[in-house]
Amino acid sequence: GENVEQHPSTLSVQEGDSAVIKCTYSDSASNYFPWYKQELGKRPQLIIDIRSNVGEKKDQRIAVTLNKTAKHFSLHITETQPEDSAVYFCAASNGADGLTFGKGTHLIIQP
């Protein structure tokens, strides 16, 4: 089955700086790569996703890049703000049998 590795487990950045979270996946058949944000005590919510036929996708301050050859994808958050503090999960899927999630990155925005 699919295996998703996510790094780092904790990331602390100064407010206004950029944050980058990286993930690798094992199944070359995976074709969908979403990122979820989970605030403390809340449910995970989709913030951005990318499909295997696209190399990069951007939505305001967040962007995701995908390297199919190397089987890795990354989340980039620019101009970080206090409300970006949360746990971020990457995931991968090759179809309808659910998403395989990474273990999460706790992003801390220092004032």
Partner 1 sequence: NAGVTQTPKFRILKIGQSMTLQCTQDMNHNYMYWYRQDPGMGLKLIYYSVGAGITDKGEVPNGYNVSRSTTEDFPLRLELAAPSQTSVYFCASSLTGQGTWELFFGEGSRLTVL
Rounded to 10 degrees, the C-alpha dihedral 106/58/98/29 comes to -110
Q: How far is the CB of 49 from partner 1 (least distance, A)?
A: 7
Q: How far is the CB of 62 from partner 1 (least distance, A)?
A: 15
Q: Which residues bind partner 1 (CB under 8 A)?
A: 1, 6, 9, 32, 34, 36, 42-46, 49, 89, 93, 96-104
Of 1 and 82, CB closest to partner 1: 1
Q: How far is the CB of 34 from partner 1 (least distance, A)?
A: 7
> Which of 43, 39, 102 has its CA nearest to residue 75?
102
Buried-state track 23-33, b at ≥16 Cβ within 10 A, e below 16 = bbbeeeebeeb
